[in-house]
Each structure stands twice: as structure tokens, then as C-alpha cells.
Amino acid sequence: MDATWLKPIVETKYLSTENAHRYRAILRYFYIQHERMRQYLFPEEVYAFLKQHEEFADYTEDDLQQDLDQLVKWNNLIARQETSHVRTIEEFKKKRFRYQCSPYTVEIERMIRTLEQLGDSFGGSLEKTRFDRLYASLSRIEAIIASGFQEQRDEMYQVWEETFDYFKKIIQNSADYMAYLHSENVEERMTSESFLVYKEQFTAYLRDFIVALQKTSMQIEQLLEDLPEEGVRQFIGHVVDYERSIPRFADAPPPRAVQIEEKWETWRSLCEWFLGRNGRESELSFLQYQTNEAIRRLTRVVQRLGERHHHFRSRKGDYLHLARWFSRLESIEEAHCLSAVVFGCFHTKHLVADAEATDNIYRDVWDEPPAEWVTKPRVRHYGEKKKPQAIEDKEREKEEARLRYLEEKEREEAALRQLVTDGKIVLADLPEVTPYVRKTLLGWIAKAMGREGQAMKTENGLVVKVVNKEGTICLRAEDGELVMPNYEIHVLSGGE
């Protein structure tokens, strides 16, 4: 652990000490003048500023001098003796000072001003263009590595700084905006009728972000996977060399190897944010999940508000229209049919059973086996009888289930291989296919279209490329027909 993490920060004492209001007013004035490129101030200027406010009506020059001396002790101000206009020895002995706020103080006041503007709610945004800018910066890094580092070191340093500036803004703004959507103030506003005015704006904003994110993130992931590790390390070495060439009046910088390792860890953080690590889901996928959940939550809120709105609305006009509709029918059988469509079945019983959940999102309720429901006596002291049972060994059932799964996957892969003719899959010439084959082919097309060259590697080791032909086709499957663009999938290389 770095020893500097454990040291107290004396520069922040002025924020919570006894005369904090005086210290804060003085340092805020110094910070404002610093932003206006006025580095050094005389005590008379500070005193004139303070006396303009009622809170400092009884404030004296001696009080100001004591406060300035105390701030110098806390390293908030830097005192410098003014000797340029001294005419006598007495004036020199008085040690007339002018003051400059320290770098720590500037950053502290800048942070406080940001917090004051932030208020009690989260800010942030979901800017879809930042992913495009990040991708452009990463593409410049790739081009510099491919060219053999022919660019100047200052150009490489600028590209590196731009890349991680975009990356940090993406993380900070997206995290703040998600926290804003889940804050208590937004939750309360969502329950009011006025939220209906903003629902389209919120939904469109989140939907556009998701579309841009899915389009650009695939390109960024592919680029990060293709960048050679050794090339990135050489690029980082040039960036570190440029930083070390900047003259500074300070202690000796850390060793070059330490600086390279720090920037390499920063690069790994960027890669892990987009690609994940050790089989874990990436932060990018989690951001997509959070955005989709926010859209679903907004939709549910709008639906509940709409139901509440319709609950208090008069249905007189609807019932009159239905009454005229019923009066025009010629037979009671037709009236029964219309009643069933409009009002549903009368005396319907709703049964609930504890069905086992499945991980297959495409499985319908009709595919599930029937469930049994055991009724229990409605008495207060009823308790089920339980008998001690031994732990059953189900290794055999597990092995059989694993073998069945492997056999099913092998059959599905064999069905895909049979579709390849002359090294390509022509969707227009395919016979009726199974739902699995249809979903797999559409998944390949979706992933390949978002990547450069429209090529990708499938989960079973095939490298395929999607070619878009003119016109449209009808892809026939066992569960329906799909009208889609005329694609051909060319198999460039096969897996084991």
C-alpha cells in the first residue's frame, strides 16, 4: 500500500473548522481570481471583497491577516514577499506579502463548485456519440501500431489521452444517469400523471442509446481482440517516453517500467470493461441490461398510469356502441360469440400450480408437462408430515442428461453442416428448417453485420462471412415463415 494513502490531508481542514465560513469565503475569492488568470493577490484586494458582504461587517484587517497566516500553515495559500516597489528599509521589514492559492486548494474548490452545481440529484447522460469517438480513437491507435509507429510521440500521447478521456466519461456519465433513473425523486415523479408527457422522450432516448451501443460496441470488441499485445505495449512505451520528456521542477519520476505497468493496467481495465474477464460478464453487457430494464420499467409505469386513467374514465360511449352492435345481430348464437370475444368466458376458474422453471426462453407453456396440485386442509394447526430420507445418488441421471444434451447439440450441428453447399449457405435455396437452425442463422447474420468486413467466428469454430444479395426471400421454418433480405453465408474456414 502506498504510504501517501494514509497521510492526513491538512488542506481540507478549512472546510469544517470553527471559522470555516471565513476561510471558505477567502479561498473561494482566490479560486475565482485563479480561474481569471490572476495568480497573486494582495490582502487589500481580499479585504475589499469581503467588506462588500453583510456577513463581514465587523471583519477587520487584523482578522484577515490571522486567517491568511492560518491558511498558509495549512498549505492552502502560498505567501510571497513583495519587494519590487520597496523604497525604504522600514518598508522591507514590514514584509508585505502577496498570496497565491496552492494546487490542492484549486482542485478542492473546483470539486466543491461541481458538487454545488450537482445538487441533490444525480446527473450524467447516455451519449451515444461517445462510443463512436472512442472507436475512432482506438482505430487511430490500431493504425499507428500497424504503420510501425511512424507518428510523433506527442501525437501518440494525444491519442492515448483522448481515448481514456472518452472511456472515463462513458463510465461516469452512464453510472450517474442510471443512478438518476433509480433515485427516489424520479421514482416519485414516475407515479404522477405528469410523467406521461415525458414517457416518449425517455423511451426514445434510451432506445436510441441501445441501438447505437449495440452497433458500435461490436466493432470496439472486435478491434480490442485484434490489437496485438506487444504492439500495445510498444505504444504505451512511446507515450511514457513523451511524458518523461516533459520538463518538470519536481522529484524524480517513477521508473519507466513502473509507469508502463500502470498504463498497461489501465488498458486492461478498458479491455475488461468491453470483453469481460475470466468468463465473467463484461460491464458493457451489464450496462445494456440496465438500460433494457429501465425501458421495461418505464413501460410498466406507463401501463399502470394508463390503467389508472382508464379506470376513472366514463365507459358510457363504449357500452352504447356495444349495445348498438348487439342489436344488429340476427341470432342469439352470434350474440353469444360476440359476448365471448368482448367480455370473455363467464364463470372462469383460474388454477395455479408450481411448475418447474426452465432456462429455455423459447419454450412455450404448451411444451411443459402437466403439473399436479395437492389441496391442503384449511385448518390453523395443519402441518405436513415429514419423514427422514436418505440422500439419493443422482450421478447416473446427471450423466444421462449430459449425454442427451451432447447428442442433441451434435444433431443440431450436423443439421447446420448439411446446409453448406460449395462452401456457402444460400438462404434462398434452403428447404424448411427447424427453429434452432433459423435462430442460429439469424444470430450469425446479426453478429456479422455489426463487424468490419461482415465476418465473425461462430461458437462451434466456423469463420463465416455474410454477403447481401439483391431482393428479398422467404425463409421457411417449422414454426412459420420469415420475409427477409437475400443473404448468403460464406464459410471461410471450419472448426474441429
Q: How many CB atoms lie within 10 A of CB 264?
A: 15
Backbone φ/ψ region at 359: left (φ over 0), alpha (ψ -120 to 50), beta = alpha
* C-alpha to C-alpha distance for 482 and 95, rounded to whole angstroms: 88
In whole angstroms, give the CA distance from residue 174 to residue 291: 10
Dist CA 149 CA 236 (whole Å) = 11
This prediction has a pTM of 0.45
The helix-helix angle for 256-275 and 283-311 (nearest 10°) equals: 40
SS3 40: coil
pLDDT of residue 327: 92
How much is the CA Rg of the chain, to the nearest whole Å?
A: 35
Cα separation, 252 vs 32, in Å, equals: 32
Give the per-residue pLDDT at 122: 44
What does the alpha-carbon distance between residue 178 and residue 205 come to, in Å, rounded to a whole number? 13
Helices (H), 197-252: 199-226, 229-245
Of 140, 152, 150, 163, residue with least CA distance to 245: 152
Short-list 357, 172, 380, CA closest to 273: 172
SS3 state at 146: helix
Please report how many Cα atoms fall inside a 13 Å half-sphere around the Cα of residue 400, on the Cβ side. 4
Give me the tens of pLDDT residue by residue for the chain, a chain 496 residues long.
566 677 788 888 888 888 888 999 999 999 888 888 787 888 888 999 998 988 888 889 889 989 999 999 998 998 887 655 555 555 555 567 889 888 889 889 888 887 776 544 444 556 767 788 888 888 988 888 888 877 788 888 888 988 888 888 888 777 777 776 666 666 666 666 556 666 667 677 777 777 777 778 888 888 888 888 888 888 998 888 888 888 876 667 778 888 888 888 888 888 888 888 776 778 888 877 877 787 777 777 766 766 665 555 667 888 899 999 999 999 999 999 888 888 887 777 777 766 666 667 677 777 777 777 777 777 777 777 777 777 888 888 888 888 988 888 888 888 888 888 888 888 888 888 888 888 888 888 888 887 777 888 887 778 888 888 888 889 888 888 888 888 888 888 764 4
**Helix-, strand-, coil-residue percentages of the chain, each rounded to 5:** 60, 10, 30
What is the grid cell recorded at 3?
504510504
Cβ proximity of 427 and 441 under 8 Å? yes
pLDDT the model gives residue 120: 45
Beta strand pairing status for 463-477 and 480-493? antiparallel
Alpha-carbon distance of 103 to 27, in angstroms, equals 12
- CA dihedral in degrees (181, 185, 186, 192; nearest 10)? 170
Reading the block at residue 258, the C-alpha cell is 513502473
Paired strand residues for 79:
99
Angle ∠(179,183,188) on CA atoms, nearest 5:
150
pLDDT score for 494 = 62
Amino acid identity for residue 261 in this structure: E
Which residues are CB-contacts of 151 (< 8 A; sequence separation ≥ 6)?
144
Would you state the pLDDT for residue 190? 62
N-term to C-term CA, the chain: 47
Pairing outcome for strands 424-426 and 455-457: unpaired
pLDDT score at 496? 42
In the block, cell 427516489 appears at 184
pLDDT of residue 121: 46
Residue pointed to by grid coordinates 523604497: 87
pLDDT at position 324 is 92
Q: Take residue 341 and report the three cell numbers written for it.
A: 370475444
- Predicted confidence at residue 124, as pLDDT, reads 52
3-class SS at 468?
A: strand
The two beta strands, 480-493 and 424-426, are: antiparallel
CA–CA gap between residue 78 and residue 93 (Å, rounded):
19
* Segment holding 493, helix H or strand E: strand 480-493
Report the distance separating Cα 249 and Cα 38, nearest Å: 22
Return the bridge partners of 472, or none.
485
